[in-house]
Every structure is written in C-alpha cells, then in structure tokens.
Chain A
Amino acid sequence: MKSPALIFLGAFLVNNIVLMRFLGLCPFFGVSSTVETATGMGMAVIFVMTLAAWITWVVFNAVLLPLNLVFLRTAVFILTIASLVQLVEMFLKKSYRALYNALGIYLPLITTNCAILGVTFLNIDNKFSFIDGTVFAIGTGVGFTLVIITFAAIRERLDLAPINPSLRGYPISFIAASLMALAFLGFSGLFGLT
C-alpha cells in the first residue's frame, strides 16, 4: 500500500498525466497559447477532477458494485461527469460569480477532456480508497496545471522565434512538448516510483 504522499508525487511528477500518460492533450495544445488562459484551464481541471473523482468513486462503490452493473461503467461515468460539469457551471454562475468569471468558459470544454474520465478509470483500476483517490486526482490536476503553464510560457516565446515556416504552429509545439517529456523522464524512478 502506497502512502498518500507517494501517490501525490507519483501523479504529479513521475507519471505526469500529459507528458507520460498522454491524457488531456486537446486542452494541452488547444488552450496553451497564453499563460493566462493556461492558468484558468489548469485551475478548472483541478477543481472538476477532484469533484469527478469523488462522485464517480461513490457511484461505482455504492451503486455499480453492489448491483453487479460494472459493465455500465463507461456509460455511467461519462454521463455523470457531463451532468456534474453542467451542475457546477450553474451553481458557480448563481453563487460564486467571481469564480465563474475566472473558470466559466473552460468548464464546458472539460466535459470531453479525456484526462478527467481517465483519472476516474485509473482510480477504479488501481482500487484506490476514497482518500487515496482524492489525493491521486489532486496530484494529477496539479501536474496538469504545472505542465500546461510551463508549456504556455514556452509557446509565448516560440511565437517570437524565427522558425522555419513548415514547422510553425503544431509541429514546433510537438517538438517542444517532446523535449519537456524528455525532461520529465528524469523523474522516473524518483522515490522508487515507476
């Protein structure tokens, strides 16, 4: 049994969700053109990922397992997350206007973010307890935020750099991401985590 601190570090650095697990690449390339939007997206992901981990853990262990409906996992999780995001959006709009203004536009995009659904599946596959699942979700979200903000900073510089025209845009972004992933490979084996 791994301690929560190790689970956090594993999700945050060693098995970084974007660079090592390849989840959440759409927002990683789509919303990383400036540091500001990347920060907003990162915060929204941490928030929704934690909520989604809680709610799917409860749904899986309290409803699907006792009723022997595990095969419905995929359908139930995606619908749960989609309605959760809608609810959060309406709730923030009514009650926490400032937070809504900061995260609002990113929330609809998150429904189809495979990182969120991926984390809920990994929680189940790893048989995490409620606490471990929460720590895992927060660590993953923080890891996503770290990487997307760093990447946005790199892309702001790339916009000004003299680059061969056929490499402009996506290709050079992929190559920059490749170098970042190479740097993150250095974390593998840290604290005995693989």
Chain B
Amino acid sequence: MSRLSIFTRGLIKDNAVFVLMIGLCPALATSSTVRDGFGMGLAATFVVVCSNLLISILRKNIPNEVRIPIFILIISTFVTIIDYMMQAFQPELYRALGVFVPLIVVNCMILGRAEAFASKRSVLDSVLDGLGTGLGFTLALTIMGTIREILGNGTFLGMTVFGEAFKNSPVIFMIMSPGAFLVIGILKALINKYVKKEL
C-alpha cells in the first residue's frame, strides 16, 4: 500500500463518520456550528496522530496481553493535554464542546487505529494514517456543521448567508438535536445512492 493510499484511506474511503459510522457521539453533538465541528475535529486529529506516533514507536515494547490498557493510557494522556491546552487558549470553544473534549478518549476511531494499524506498522505510516483518519473526521464534522449552521442559524462561521430575513427566522431545529440526526441520515442516504458503488 503506497503512502498516499494510507493517507486517503482514512480521509475518504474509510471515512470514520460517513462510511464506518464510528465516532458518532461527538460528530452529532459538536456539529451544530462550523467552528465547533472544526475545533472538535482538530482536537481528535491531534490525539489520533500523537497516539499513533507513540504507539508505533513503542510497538515492539508493548506486551501483547496488556496492550489495550496501555493504548488507552497513551490516548488519555494526549486527551488530557488537548483538554488543558484548549481550556487555556480557546476557552470559548472549550465551553461549547463541554464534556466531549475529555470524552475523545472513548472515541472508538482512535483506539481502532491504534489496534489495527499503529501497533503493527512503521512510524511514518502510522502518522500518515492518523493524519488521514483525523482529517477525515474533521472533514465530516465540518460538512455537517456547515449544513446545520447555514440552515439552523442562517450564518457560516458567524457571517450572514441568506440575508437578514432568513437569519431572523431560520430552521431552528437544525441546530438542535433532531437536526443532527436528520442531517447525518440524509447525507448517509445520499452517499449510499451516489457514492458507494465507486468506493
């Protein structure tokens, strides 16, 4: 498998949210605006790249019987780092994401990459794989955030899109919880109809 295909596998072909349907909790909960979705995606990308890097460096020293607890410890270390960094440098974003920042630790996408890829492959491949997976997650969250923020709030990154009249009475339920389920349901249906055969 070439380096490029390692990267694009996580980004598009096995996109965590739209294709594999994992990591759904943060994907639905934090995609009510573009900023929140993008921020959550980057936080998860940081964790998956760093944990893939460290696990791949240590892969020959981790005993097979206790590998899962060790992976979880390594992941939770990086989650704690991003948790405190975000609290210090992006307090507003941190408040919006709330409990979902520490909960990155139970995102099965990250443990899945550690177990399926980083524990077996070279350091460079593992970093690329983590980068592809993380950016694929970011892409999915940003797409959902874009749709939900434009329809539910009439804005994109805070800028008015359809004019004041729409902004004053938007489809408000799109930024609430039913909108999240509806958007991902319709996107998944469109992917099934138009994209799946080519993948």
B69, B103, B188: the one within 8 Å of A114 (CB) = B103
| Sample of 7 further A-B pairs with CB below 8 A, known A75-B105, A78-B105, A117-B103 | A19-B177, A22-B28, A23-B29, A73-B80, A74-B105, A174-B185, A185-B178
Q: Which residues, 149 to 168 on A, are CB-close (under 8 Å) to B?
A: 164-167
- Do most interface residues of chain B lie in helix, strand or loop, or is the interface mixed? helix
The interface stretch among B19-27, B49-57, B118-126, B157-165 is B19-27
CA distance A114 to B102 in the complex (A): 10
> Chain B interface: which of A4-12, A95-103, A118-126, A134-142?
A118-126
Is the CB of B14 closer than 8 A to any CB of chain A? no
Per-residue CB proximity of B174-196 to A under 8 Å, as 1/0? Answer: 00111111101110111011000
Q: Assess whether A22 is in contact with B111, with CB atoms less than 8 Å apart.
A: no
Say whether B21 contacts A170, CB under 8 Å.
yes
Q: Given A22-B180, A29-B24, A78-B105, A171–B185 Cβ distance below 8 Å?
A: yes
Residues from chain B with a CB closer than 8 A to the CB of A172 are 185
Cα–Cα distance between A179 and B173 once the two chains are bound (Å):
11
Query: B17 → chain A, closest Cβ, in Å?
Result: 11
Q: Please classify the interface of chain A as helix (H, G, I), strand (E, B), loop, or mixed, using the class held by over half of its residues.
A: helix
Does A127 make an interface contact (CB < 8 A)? Answer: no
Q: Do A174 and B184 touch across chains, with their CB atoms under 8 A apart?
A: yes
Complex Cα spacing A71 to B79, Å: 11
Tell whether B93 is near chain A: CB-to-CB under 8 Å: no
Would you call A121 and B185 a contact (CB within 8 A)?
Answer: no
Q: Could you write out 9 A-B pairs with CB less than 8 Å apart?
A: A74-B83, A78-B72, A121-B99, A121-B103, A122-B99, A171-B185, A171-B189, A175-B182, A178-B178
> Which of A26, A74, A164 lies in contact with B76, CB distance below 8 A?
A74
Cα(A185)–Cα(B107), bound, Å: 26
Complex Cα distance, B188 from A164, in Å, reads: 13
* Interface residues as binary, A16-35 with B (CB distance below 8 Å gives 1, 0 otherwise): 00011111111001000000
Asked if A181 CB lies within 8 Å of chain B CBs, one says yes
Residues of B within 8 A of A37 (CB): none
A88 within 8 A of B: no
Contact B25 A174 (CB under 8 A): no
A23-B25, A71-B84, A82-B72 known; A175 vs B185 contact (CB < 8 Å):
yes
Q: In the docked arrangement, what's the CA distance between A20 and B29, Å? A: 9
Give, as a whole number of angstroms, the nearest-CB distance from B170 to chain A: 16
Residue of B nearest to A171 (CB): B189
A19 CB contacts on chain B under 8 angstroms: 177
Any B CB within 8 A of the CB of A79: yes
Beta-carbon nearest neighbor of A179 in chain B: B178
